[in-house]
Amino acid sequence: MRKLKNAELDRKTVEEFKNASKTPIIVILDNVRSLNNIGSVFRTSDAFLIEKIYLCGITATPPHKDIRKTALGATDNVAWEYVDDTLNLIKKLKNEDVEIISIEQAENSTSLEKVKVCQAKRYALVFGNEVKGVAQEVVSLSNEVIEIPQLGVKHSLNIAVSVGVCLWEFFKQLRS
């Protein structure tokens, strides 16, 4: 087995990415404070051809050197928009028949491995602040809350890791 060289990876150009059919997933970052996490979310969203990222509340926006450092250029091709109020965004997306799913530890949450993704739906996955998580008001407006199973001592994952885990599960089910 031989590792592929970058030239052999058949990567899309920025223009090809923008014109490509997107995975029907929107990522919402609810008051995420780490610029490196934001950049990582852009890079992961690029990998899975995510429809759009909404940066809400205190979440920083490109261009910024610390976002660029981890995004590696993904801010140039992944669609994004800043929205001050996450609640208003959630209400707007629900009116557009987007399924709102908060990724949070909550009563009556669904464990990620039990989630059934419907190919006929569009999804918005909400990820929260590194300390406080997704705001309770947002959780309350969500159609569903998904929890990533964790068996260790810490019971928390870095937001960038959580985004990667969840996007992979949704992408896998939507593409199967």
Segment 36-85, tens digit of pLDDT:
999 999 999 999 999 999 999 999 999 999 999 999 999 999 999 999 99
Residue 15 covered by a domain: no
pLDDT of residue 96: 98
Residue 20 covered by a domain: no
Report the helix count and the strand count for the chain, using DSSP H and E: 6, 7
Segment 108-152, tens digit of pLDDT:
999 999 999 999 999 999 999 999 999 999 999 999 999 999 999
pLDDT of residue 176: 85
Task: Collect all residues with Cβ–Cβ distance below 8 Å to 52 and sequence separation of at least 6.
Answer: 26, 27, 78, 79, 80, 81
pTM for this predicted structure: 0.96
Nearest-angstrom CA–CA distance, 73 and 78: 9
Residue 39 covered by a domain: yes
Residue 18 covered by a domain: no
| Number of compact structural domains in the chain | 1
Q: How many CA atoms lie within 13 A of 155 on its CB side?
A: 5
Residue 4 covered by a domain: no
**Whole domain around residue 47: which residue ranges?**
26-175
Let me know if 63 is exposed, middle or buried by CB neighbors in 10 A (0-12, 13-18, 19+).
exposed
Nearest-angstrom CA–CA distance, 55 and 61: 7
| CB-CB contact of 126 with 140 (8 Å) | no
If pLDDT is split at 50, 70 and 90, which confidence band does 155 have? confident
CATH number of the domain at 33, please: 3.40.1280.10
| CB-CB contact of 88 with 129 (8 Å) | no
Segment 11-45, tens digit of pLDDT:
999 999 999 999 999 999 999 999 999 999 999 99
pLDDT of residue 61: 98
Residue 120 covered by a domain: yes
50-56/80-83 β-pairing = parallel
Share of the chain above pLDDT 70, in %: 100
Residue 37 covered by a domain: yes
